[in-house]
Amino acid sequence: MKRNKEKYHNITKVKLNQKVAVFIFFLGIATFFWFLNALNSEYTTKISYNSVFINPPHRKSLPIPSSAKLTLSIKGYGFDILALKLASYLPYQIDITKYAIYPKSTVDSSNVCILSNSLINSLQDNIGTKVRVTTVYPDTLFLNLSKAVTRKMPVNIEAELHPFSLYLLNSPIVCKPESLWVSGSQESFENIHQISTEKRVFEKLRDSFQAEIRLVAIRGLVFSEAEVQISAFYEQYTEIVMYLPLTVINLPDNLHFRTFPKTIRISFKIPLRRYDEIKESQFVFALDYNLIKNNLPRQIVPELVEHAPGISDLKISPSKLDYLIEM
């Protein structure tokens, strides 16, 4: 009897769970269609919109802060408003010279204002025609434009250039321009000593390379250029290995100088096109006996006093030599 009661209870529980699941399923469908229907209706709402100030008047710097958050009152269908809120936009650019109002009819004033409603047409172009911009808040933007300071600053290349296997940089990387004019308020220049490019990585480079790289913006500063051009030339290299003796100068005729090992191993890289130009006679290891005769060291350091031009990645082994002086 007890078992039958438990079995009945379990069957009832399963049926109840099935009913709940069916109810939740149809509730989800109903909610979905309600949401679709709601999106087809027209609404008025507000959204936040980031903006930045650009193009200050001549001899004036950008205000600090050089950005502002606008609140837009918009009207449109739910689908379009949702798409606008989900989309990512670059900050809206407010042209100070175009929209600023100057007191006393002079552009020399540091205090200016911009009527937000004058931005509506430009904002409408920025977000498209599916949603209508009705009002912009705050209704007035107040700016303080201090006197601009102009300096010439070097460009710092943040790019990483990695050549193809067996290729090496033939000459220093060229940046054009290597410096640029920067203007802004005196305060904006604090702790700024150079202008950096964006971080970029270029792989498997060979022969001639050229690229345009944008500069990293600094709040409150205006650059004379928005980007720079970098160029480099990579050439195929080969490695050369040589075994050379040590030449001892100013050694008395009655002495013999022996080194252990007898030769010094050097390796270096050279452009492949110059391979046939390299001769062992261009490389000389030398030791002046007069420099050590009064205080003989336990080991000597081989010094390469002559070598062929244009070599790179030079390696010398061993770095120290044992020696023996015989009568």
Q: Note the pLDDT of residue 100.
A: 83
Q: Note the pLDDT of residue 257.
A: 92
- Diameter over CA atoms, the chain: 124
Tell whether the torsion through CA atoms of 80, 85, 88 and 92 is positive or negative. positive
Which structural domains are found in the chain, ordered by start? 42-144 (2.170.120), 149-236 (2.170.120.40), 238-326 (2.170.120.30)
Tell whether the torsion through CA atoms of 125, 129, 130 and 132 is positive or negative. positive
pLDDT tens-place values along the chain, 327 residues long = 545 555 545 555 555 566 556 556 555 665 655 554 555 567 788 888 888 888 888 778 777 677 888 888 888 887 777 777 776 667 888 888 888 887 665 555 677 888 888 988 888 888 888 888 889 899 888 888 878 888 999 999 999 999 988 888 888 899 999 999 998 888 888 889 999 999 999 999 988 999 999 999 888 888 999 999 999 999 999 999 999 999 999 999 899 999 999 999 999 999 999 999 999 999 999 999 999 989 999 999 999 999 999 898 999 999 999 999 987
Helices (H) and strands (E) in the chain, counts: 4, 22
Q: Note the pLDDT of residue 2.
A: 47
Q: Note the pLDDT of residue 11.
A: 53
DSSP bridge partners of 101: 113
What one-letter code names the amino acid at 160? E
Q: Note the pLDDT of residue 250.
A: 93
Q: Note the pLDDT of residue 88.
A: 61
Q: Note the pLDDT of residue 262.
A: 94
**Which tokens in the block code for residue 119?**
């931005």
Tell whether the torsion through CA atoms of 3, 5, 8 and 13 is positive or negative. negative
What one-letter code names the amino acid at 262? K
